[in-house]
Amino acid sequence: MKLQIIGLDHETQWRDETGDFRKLLLGLANQEKPQLIAEEAFSLPTTVAQRLSWGIDVPWLDIDFAFKLRTKTLPNHGIKDMPEPDIDGNYSSRTIIYSKYKQKPRENCWLHQIRKHNCDSIWLICGLMHVYSLSEKLGDCDVHCVRVWEMDWYKEKWGKFILSNDGAATTAVWTPAPKDGEGHCL
């Protein structure tokens, strides 16, 4: 099985203001159209990939489970968010630590759902904090990671994410893109 893990933030996943995420997905589809698009999308409005799947005639699947079940299984989700606001409440940087151990049941559920479909080519679209842990679990697959957060258009819109992986956790340090007086990215 060939699996493209496409990692990004959830807001861009459904609300692609610049159109760049859609362009990226169309480019990937033109290279090799997947047989299934699986997405961590519970509680999101219709996503960019979901809308695209209709246009390219590829089945789409929300692999995440209901929030109520998620909170029962993972009471604190294994995510520690340490924002560092300045005196005006703006964030110059923010550190997020994601415990792979605490997210393991959820990610295993996703992979189980994907494998049930027995496809040769799948896109797995998920939050950027899942990319490293999911790729480690899929040693028997041909895995390619698309790190959307490293693309220039993404950094211009959202800022810079630096992810590190120590085996037990993924840590992200986010520095937002500079904004002008009206909140637009510079």
Global pTM reads 0.84
Query: Considering the domain boundaries, does residue 86 fall inside one?
Result: no
For the chain, how many structural domains are there in total?
Answer: 1
What digits encode the pLDDT tens for the residues 12-66?
A: 999 999 999 999 999 999 999 999 999 998 877 899 999 999 999 999 999 987 6
Rounded to whole angstroms, the Cα distance separating 42 from 91 reads 27
Rounded to whole angstroms, the Cα distance separating 8 from 135 reads 15
Query: Considering the domain boundaries, does residue 174 fall inside one?
Result: no
Low-confidence ranges of the chain (pLDDT < 70): 66-94, 179-186
**What is the reported pLDDT for 73?**
56
**What is the reported pLDDT for 62?**
93
Rounded to whole angstroms, the Cα distance separating 82 from 178 reads 20
Query: Considering the domain boundaries, does residue 130 fall inside one?
Result: yes
**Residue-range definition of the domain harbouring residue 64:** 2-75+102-151
**What is the reported pLDDT for 119?**
95
What is the 3-state secondary structure of 11-66?
A: HHHHCCCCCHHHHHHHHHHHHCCCCEEEECCCCCCCCHHHHHHHHHCCCEEECCCC
The structure tokens listed for 128 are 């950027």
Query: Considering the domain boundaries, does residue 85 fall inside one?
Result: no
Query: Considering the domain boundaries, does residue 57 fall inside one?
Result: yes
**What is the reported pLDDT for 74?**
54
Query: Considering the domain boundaries, does residue 15 fall inside one?
Result: yes
Measure Cα distances from 30 to 18, 55, 83, 138, 148 in Å. Answer: 20, 13, 39, 24, 18
Amino acid sitting at position 137: K
